[in-house]
Structure 1
Amino acid sequence: MDYKGYLIDLDGTMYNGTEPILAAPRFIKRLQDKQVPFLFVTNNTTKTQEEVMDNLQTNFGITVTEDHIYTGSLATAKYMKKLNKGNKVFAIGETGLKDALTKAGFIEDKKNPDFVVVALDREATYTDFETATLAIQKGAQFIATNKDTNMPSEKGMVPGAGSLVALVVAATRVEPTFIGKPESIIMGEALEAIGLKKEEVVMVGDNYETDILAGIQNDIDTLLVYTGFTKPEDLTLDMKKPTHSIHSLDEWTIR
């Protein structure tokens, strides 16, 4: 199948935590050699675009520019900006999220925020979740960066943003607006960023619940690679299958 562009996941597809996936840099090099546009679309909100770029180059031998990277943080900030419902926010999240929100013009407000955003935060405290809960109960709009309950690492499958979001949902009984894969919000923004139509691209990823469903639910072809979260035995008969599935990116031919 010929595709004009590729939307590509990072963790579990390009690497597993700090562990390299050897086929990944070869795959990106083939795209670059053939001048095929690609965009990394990641639910990870912990790093800025620059940090993601540096991590790819320094640790995994993948050389790209910041324009190749679209994070859940950027998608969240852009979505909130479009709503035009105020600029006060309380965010549970790391550098990538807070940097994106600040650059988009949002300011922190713990007492009366317009928005509460919950993302992965490995240093979040009980007080943070208390603040978020009380603000949502007062009427702040609840935004969640993504549903990933787990994420692959060199230690195994560790808790992801979705696990933290579930805590706040349980405490408030309020369902958030989700931004990241598999939601249409981040996929629509990614298509805008790469400048292609949905029928012209393929979504490449390791996680059926996020990457592959992002394609299926938004009418985008999918390429599932079994290097991270989802294993072949996880695909049951009642699940809609990915357009393509492979065990290694080395198996994929770029035309």
Structure 2
Amino acid sequence: MASAGSNIPWPPIEGIISDLDGVIYRGSTAIADAVEAFTGWQKAGVPFCFATNNSTHTPEDVVRRLSGCGLSIAPSQVVTSAVTAAELVRTRYPHLTRIYVIGAPSLVTAMRDVGLEVTEQRPEAVVMGLDRAITHEKMRIAIEAILNGAVFIGTNPDLLLPMASGFEPGAGATIAAVTAATQVQPLIVGKPQVPMIETALSRLGTNRASTVMIGDQVPTDIQAGKRAGLVTVLVTTGVPTRQDPSLMAPDFIVSSLREIDVSAARAAQPRQRRA
């Protein structure tokens, strides 16, 4: 693990996958160094994609927010846990068509965008994300469907989400309740699992060995990157995390994204076939 300020050379960087909150912005405030770094990489032709566990925003929402920060990107450069969940249902369970959704409107939209029917009637899969309007009845429908054999998918395992006044329960909290009631483990698509990273890699078309995963959280971002076989960079601009020796450590630690050297990037050369 190379710490910020070390003289250890960076490996060739062909593409970048990055988290958003804590990396590009903190709450409503943009992180100037990060916006500057991504703008420079964009001008240098280094492809990048953002991967976020947040299922309550569409890629278009993220594009608008980043535009306000001074970074112009396309919706295809954003992979959310909602989009990943929808694509996973379509590819892994192509025979399923009826989906029951507990989550924000963006999660419903993601399902419909790939041709799935969102319904309470005999659902073949239950997809759960953050739902700030969660009710006992919604959970009852989900539990009954899962006990009847519906596939159980969760967007992300985050138990707590930071707020100005403290914390609120995340998607992982309600997913855990349904898991406890059904004794069925869900398929989680968000970090620290790899489905969302694989989706981002497919968007980039880069070789995973020379693709970097940037994040501010070791338990989610870094573990996902490590499991996917990427070079991992922890940036210390987000919420501090406790040291946990059971977790895989990042390859590099930086205090600013400007420390990442992409001079060896192969963006201008023909890309290797992704491993």
Same fold (TM > 0.5): yes
TM-score category, normalised to shorter length: over 0.9
Give aligned-pair identity as a percent.
Answer: 33
SS at 2:66 equivalent: helix
2:248 matches 1:240:
yes
SS at 1:101 equivalent: helix
Choose from 54, 59, 66 the match for 1:44.
54
SS at 1:55 equivalent: helix
Q: 1: CA distance between counterparts of 2:128 and 2:154? A: 5
Preserved contact between residue 17 and residue 152 of structure 1 (Cα < 8 Å): no
Q: Deviations over 1:81-135 (max 9, x none)?
A: 1111321011011122111100111112213100001101122222211211111
Aligned Cα root-mean-square deviation (Å): 1.7
Greater Cα offset, 100-109 or 146-155: 146-155
Equivalent in the alignment of 2:86: 77
Give the AA of the match of 1:109.
Answer: T
Superposed counterparts of 1:93-172, under 5 Å: 93-172=103-182
Question: What TM-score does the superposition give when structure 1 sets the normalisation length?
Answer: 0.92
Equivalent in the alignment of 1:211: 221
Q: 2: CA distance between counterparts of 1:116 and 1:110? A: 10
SS at 1:13 equivalent: coil
Preserved contact between residue 223 and residue 247 of structure 2 (Cα < 8 Å): no
Unaligned runs of at least 5 residues, structure 2: 1-9, 264-275
Q: 1:16 to 1:67 in 2, by over 3 A?
A: same
Equivalent in the alignment of 1:56: 66
Q: CA deviation at 1:141?
A: 0.8
Q: Deviations over 1:51-79 (max 9, x none)?
A: 11012112x22221112111111111111
Q: How many residues align?
A: 252
Preserved contact between residue 235 and residue 241 of structure 1 (Cα < 8 Å): no
Greater Cα offset, 143-152 or 189-198: 143-152
Equivalent in the alignment of 1:252: 260
Preserved contact between residue 192 and residue 219 of structure 2 (Cα < 8 Å): yes
Give the greater-gyration-radius structure (CA).
2
Q: 1:106 to 1:239 in 2, by over 3 A?
A: closer
Q: 1:188 to 1:111 in 2, by over 3 A?
A: same
Give the AA of the match of 1:19.
Answer: T
Q: CA deviation at 1:36?
A: 0.7
Question: What TM-score does the superposition give when structure 2 sets the normalisation length?
Answer: 0.86
Unaligned runs of at least 5 residues, structure 1: none
Preserved contact between residue 203 and residue 220 of structure 1 (Cα < 8 Å): yes
Q: CA deviation at 1:156?
A: 4.4
Preserved contact between residue 218 and residue 247 of structure 2 (Cα < 8 Å): no
Q: 1: CA distance between counterparts of 2:22 and 2:164? A: 11
Q: 1:80 to 1:239 in 2, by over 3 A?
A: closer
Q: 1: CA distance between counterparts of 2:73 and 2:137? A: 39
SS at 2:13 equivalent: coil
Q: 1:150 to 1:12 in 2, by over 3 A?
A: farther
Q: 2: CA distance between counterparts of 1:16 and 1:172? A: 36
Higher RCO by CA contacts (8 Å cutoff, separation 6 or greater): 2
Preserved contact between residue 219 and residue 247 of structure 2 (Cα < 8 Å): no
Q: 1:24 to 1:220 in 2, by over 3 A?
A: same
Preserved contact between residue 14 and residue 207 of structure 2 (Cα < 8 Å): no
Equivalent in the alignment of 1:65: 74
2:12 matches 1:12:
no
2:205 matches 1:195:
yes
Greater Cα offset, 244-253 or 62-71: 244-253
Q: 1:182 to 1:172 in 2, by over 3 A?
A: same
Give the AA of the match of 1:39.
Answer: C
